[in-house]
Structure 1
């Protein structure tokens, strides 16, 4: 067996097992085994290992630190408070709730990262749709729209996606330049996708949500704990409330049960109680100040060539220590919930892709597309963006982005062409990859969370929506990138 056949076989096997994950194995295991096999057969050497380690370490530290900061905010009940206010402030409008969910998912990704946003927002949305007793199709509208926006929103800012950070270093683009060129085109694409999702689901989004006050109070009581008793009232003598059965689901959801509160409060009063009783706003403001300073420092560090991992890790350490000293909460939940396997995944996956480069597999692809890509800027943006989108949908965006980045850096293009084409790769990887569930790790995490909550979304259901929306959003993003580059030039 030739080296190119062996490397390609290991690469395809790694991708298959990454998507299949038999018996729920951790997603870091297939890339780690693939990397070990390539090293064992001599396709990658120690010099390659050192190069890849230096490339992915800073990006992985940044993502892990960001997720650690999100865990601290979660521990203080902030995200449950957000869920309450999303319902309470929508004033009985299902449409307003829909757009509030979209904005929540966007800002969570910008503030943290796409994987962290999925982990944070999906349970919030699940809780909302179940408390509102929405029908399965109505639940699907909120859940899928939120997931797509949360994942695609990593495109505008490079620090919101692990693969983006790795590619940034390869092509020599700093975060300031990335945001300067990417923010407008990606926001155009996100706006189109959001609008198309709304039009697609408009018949499934309830115009009004009945019983909002009751739902808000139930969510409020769940927020502050089961031991809460409304002020100025005696402890209720019994808890034997008859259950209310929700709508049966063709996805196999168990019936919803709720215990109506003994005392009804209007949403405004409930909100006031939540504000004062469950969130330590002094600490919250301190945490958010640190998080904002960290996000700003990432751009400053990147501009001056300082490793951005330092800023993120120091910020996470400060927040963790602040919580420890002021609230007496240790680091157990951070150590337990932080996805340490992300570093192993990134390192192993990149090494597997690097093996293809070592056996000159990328040279074959370069020979096929070099002439049309080199013809003009429009061709390079469109061809590379669409090619990356197809590869990412089929093989996952992490290896596809790395493979595409390796291809353009060995195509003999001028540096400016390489960097602009890299931006097209980001759009294909972050937006175009959403056509199939296998396209992003965040999408796979999303489906896993849904299954754990008794909500089954099939690939057919997913693709029947995304195939009509994502390609349009991708084309709009790529055309916007071409026009925006001309404007800036």
Structure 2
């Protein structure tokens, strides 16, 4: 199974530290400071308390406090209390900078093409292709969401598709059951389909960077699981919401004014093709994805601003700058939590699964990572998973961690930032409140089978 990852690893033991070698690049993911410190020691208790308080602030957002500021407050507390050191902060930043800036750039690109009407045009085209059939349109919208999530990341997909879908349903006089069916489908597929490329999810970027997996290699491994996840997601969504989907929907022609900058609109597919090619080629050379995504999308933004046909100020205001602060602050907190005992527990659990038959080690490891993501959010979860995998022979476990942290967050609303922001936007801007209880009930029923079959497909790919 090692042929799936370029990790030709050794362990070089020196005292109690473990250094990992990956293609000649040495990684020291964590220095397990467990001497004289039990799992339930003071530092662990403090780091756990900081984490829990931070997550409460992120979820409740008192006085509309930004999620990034909440995480920075927690990170600062971790440093002040001596749980995390300045050198460790630098190490954390080295882990997250590439993923964070790439992600922000991809979201800005999605907002640009949303403003020029690219996604609304695609939605109207799909409505026409459906011939007025509600069920056919439901299927086509899920497939569109899967494509957008792959190329524009999960947050980009949910950010642009939710208002478009809401507006379309409003014009169609749909009832609340139909709203729930379509809106939940958009939110679900945005996460479960965010795995084929490194740039499809912040989780993917972090893991591929941590284990030095290049863009092309990652895609070759994950494309089949992506197709399986999309097919499984489509199946469970259709089965669950079949009775809520209206038999007929209104179809509307392409309205004048939808395309607000034709030149930029027409550039979407060529720009994506060039970027994907560059990601693949430069990945083989070990060049971080951010070195391609950020300057390329910055040039696109400048061109759009010079043309002056869309509101670039609005794009900058809506860009997820808080993600940068959240990533740094939350990872500082989680790093301290992991260093003071949690990683050894997770590593032990992973090792205990290794003796099971066939795909079971990967299924149970995936369930563990998914549970972590659903409880603590997938960004801290994926980092803990990566650090823990570093103390076991990885094989395809990095990909298991990705799948679990892409799909597992659907179990609870706190599982991913995309979901938290999505629910917040629906409630505050659209007046549509989806309760946490309803979300968790639906999330567990839908996500568990999708996660399971996707993990099995990854195991099957590993046998080839």
Equivalent residue runs for 1:271-290 within 5 Å:
271=254, 274=256, 278-290=259-271
Shift of 1:123: 0.2
Q: Distance in 2 between matches of 1:368 and 1:107?
A: 35
Please list the CA deviations of residues 403-441 of structure 1 after superposition, one character each: whole Å capped at 9, or x if unmatched: 111111123x2xxxx140111111111112212122111
Q: 1-side partners of 2:371 and 2:190: how far apart?
A: 20
Aligned residue for 2:95, secondary structure, equals helix
1:425 to 401, 415, 433: 401
Q: Aligned equivalents of 1:409 and 1:207: distance in 2?
A: 51
Matches for 1:113-262 after TM superposition, within 5 Å: 113-209=153-249, 212=250, 216=252
Q: Which residue of 1 aligns with 2:368?
A: 387
- The answer to whether structure 1 residue 19 and structure 2 residue 1 are counterparts is no
**Number of the residue aligned with 1:402:** 383
Q: Is 1:468 aligned to residue 419 of structure 2?
A: no
Give how far 1:29 is off: 2.1
Residue 439 (structure 1) aligns with: 415
Residue aligning to 2:342: 361
Find the counterpart in structure 2 of residue 58 from structure 1. Answer: 98
Alpha-carbon separation, structure 1, partners of 2:256 and 2:122: 10
Aligned partners of 1:150, 1:32: CA distance in 2, in Å? Answer: 27
Residue 203 of structure 1: SS of its match in structure 2? helix
Equivalents in 1 of 2:137, 2:349: separation in Å? 48
**Which has the larger Rg?**
1
Q: Over aligned residue pairs, what C-alpha RMSD do you find?
A: 2.1
CA distance in 2, matches of 1:128, 1:328: 24
Find the aligned partners of 2:151 and 2:200 in 1 and give their Cα distance: 8
Counterpart residue number, 1:323: 304
Against the structure 1 CA distance between its residues 369 and 70, is the aligned structure 2 distance closer, same or farther, given a 3 Å change threshold? closer
Q: Does 1:49 align with 2:26?
A: no
Alpha-carbon distance, 1:128 to partner: 1.1
The structural deviation recorded for 1:375 is 5.8
1:34 paired residue among 74, 77, 80: 74
Cα 1:372–1:111 shift into 2, 3 Å: closer
- Preserved CA contact (<8 Å) 2:150 2:200: yes
Which secondary structure does the structure 2 equivalent of 1:28 belong to? helix
Query: TM-score scaled to structure 1, two decimals?
Result: 0.81
**Residue pair 2:153, 2:194 contacting (<8 A) in 1 also:** yes
Distance in 2 separating the partners of 1:375 and 1:61:
39
Q: 1:75 to 1:366 in 2, by over 3 A?
A: closer
What's the secondary structure of 2:287's corresponding residue? Answer: coil
1:455 equivalenced with 2:432 (yes/no): yes
Give me the TM-score of the superposition, normalised by structure 2. Answer: 0.86
Runs of 4+ in structure 1 deviating by more than 4 angstroms, as ranges, are 328-331, 374-377
Q: Deviations over 1:252-288 (max 9, x none)?
A: xxxxxxxxxxxxxxx4xxx3x638x844433322344
Aligned length: 423
Q: How does 1:48-127 map to 2 (within 5 A)?
A: 48-127=88-167
Whether 2:276 is the aligned partner of 1:305: answer: no
- The superposition leaves residues 429-469 of structure 1 with CA deviations (integer Å, 9 ceiling, x where unpaired) of 11122121221111112211211201111122223322222
Deviations 1:207-232 (A, max 9, x none): 223xx36xx2xxxxxxxxxxxxxxxx
Partner residue of 2:461? 484
1:236 aligns to what?
none
Residue 336 (structure 1) shift: 1.7
> What do the CA deviations read for 1:109-157 (whole angstroms, capped 9, x no partner)?
1121101111100001111111111111111111101110011111222
SS of the residue 1:410 aligns to: coil
- Asked if the contact 1:287–1:319 (Cα under 8 Å) also holds between the matched residues in 2, the reply is no
**Cα distance, 1:106–1:328 mapped onto 2, change above 3 Å:** closer
For 2:357 and 2:236, the matched residues in 1 are separated by 31
CA distance in 2: counterparts of 1:286 and 1:80, whole angstroms: 16
| Local SS of the residue matching 2:256 | helix
Gaps of 5+ in 2: 1-40
2:272 to 291, 312, 335: 291
Aligned to 2:248, what secondary structure does the other structure show? coil
Q: Distance in 2 between matches of 1:486 and 1:61?
A: 35
Q: Secondary structure at the match of 2:463?
A: helix
8 Å contact kept, 2:115–2:310: no
Question: In the alignment, is the contact (CA less than 8 A) between 2:98 and 2:288 conserved in 1?
Answer: yes
Does the residue aligned with 1:274 lie in a helix, a strand or coil? coil
